[in-house]
Structure 1
């Protein structure tokens, strides 16, 4: 069953990245409540942690009355879901994953922070390349296609946002993946 699920993920990721790169993905852009999506993704990940018996502390922090972003709700959810799932996969039991959303300069910034294994400095430059997974034995032992982050990068760029990451490379200090999306502009009437 696990092999079938892994194959399904691989096929879907391959289809997704080829559609995105060939320009066949069009965004159905409208106002999107980013906080709501973050809450849903964190709730799903908490359920997963219970099902897999891998205790994890997950939280979302955002100020009240965040403006909506302009984006494709399903694709914004995919961005957040991929980043939170990565954090979950590379954070050991009893770890923490924190999603922080804040507004600045006409954008919302989302930071997905974990205290997982971190990312070696020498692997960071290639992290968003297709199929690249690094050399760390802990990374290689974790199932994955090496397509999640390239898909996230493409989707963030399609939304006119930016994506970056920070990690000291020290195990246990984790990493922070951040992205921005433009806020809905309020028209003066």
Structure 2
């Protein structure tokens, strides 16, 4: 798979993401809080695939967060990357399951997970797309205390100044 990497505004991607997950959030009375710095730089990413990453992570957060729960979407600049975080107050993931979370077709034996439809491909695809775009992904979770997934997206390099044409 190839990515169409280019300098893009993360805010535009997140507007599209929010429109795609709005109904899922409303259907479970979930509150999405978005926290972005005012001076967020452009990132080097494929806008379609970056949207796919966010939608998949938010879809999982919606599935496993109890009705009327909170989901946080956050971005911050650190070490030449934008660190994007999706955090929920859902069922959490055991240490054993975390080791396999990004494995193709993996589904937890947790009863709530088994009640939800899914193939076990979503997070495997997300990890592949993040890494293909030059980023990394990590998870922090505790059973019954929620899950935080953070991935990095490289900051786009500034365009060099153009020399004025002489003549």
* Equivalent of residue 43 in structure 2, options 50, 69, 72: 69
Equivalent residues in 2 for 1:47-58, closer than 5 Å: 47-50=23-26, 53-58=27-32
Match status 1:27 vs 2:3: yes
User: In the alignment, what sits opposite 1:118?
Assistant: 92
Question: Following the alignment from structure 1 to structure 2, what is the Cα–Cα distance between the partners of residues 35 and 175?
Answer: 23
Q: What do you get for the CA RMSD once the two structures are aligned?
A: 1.2
Match status 1:86 vs 2:60: yes
Question: Following the alignment from structure 2 to structure 1, what is the Cα–Cα distance between the partners of residues 61 and 22?
Answer: 12
Question: Following the alignment from structure 1 to structure 2, what is the Cα–Cα distance between the partners of residues 59 and 43?
Answer: 14
Cα contact 1:160–1:182 (8 A) shared by 2: yes
- Secondary structure at 1:128 match in 2: coil
User: In the alignment, what sits opposite 1:181?
Assistant: 153
**Alpha-carbon offset, residue 39 of structure 1:** 3.1
Cα contact 1:38–1:99 (8 A) shared by 2: no
- Runs of 4+ off more than 3 Å: none
Question: Following the alignment from structure 2 to structure 1, what is the Cα–Cα distance between the partners of residues 16 and 139?
Answer: 23
Looking at CA atoms only, which structure, 1 or 2, has the larger radius of gyration? Answer: 2
TM-score, length basis structure 2: 0.91
Cα contact 1:42–1:60 (8 A) shared by 2: no
- Secondary structure at 1:146 match in 2: coil
**Alpha-carbon offset, residue 187 of structure 1:** 4.6
Structure showing the higher helix proportion among its residues: 1
User: In the alignment, what sits opposite 2:33?
Assistant: 59
Q: Which runs of 5+ in 2 are unaligned?
A: 162-167
User: In the alignment, what sits opposite 1:143?
Assistant: 117
Cα contact 2:20–2:55 (8 A) shared by 1: no
- Secondary structure at 1:26 match in 2: coil
What whole-Å deviation, never above 9, does each CA across 1:53-83 have from its counterpart, x for those lacking one? 3100002100112111111110011111111
For residues 187 and 43 of structure 1, do their structure 2 counterparts lie closer, same or farther at Cα, with a shift above 3 Å needed? closer
For residues 58 and 34 of structure 1, do their structure 2 counterparts lie closer, same or farther at Cα, with a shift above 3 Å needed? same
Q: Which runs of 5+ in 1 are unaligned?
A: 1-24
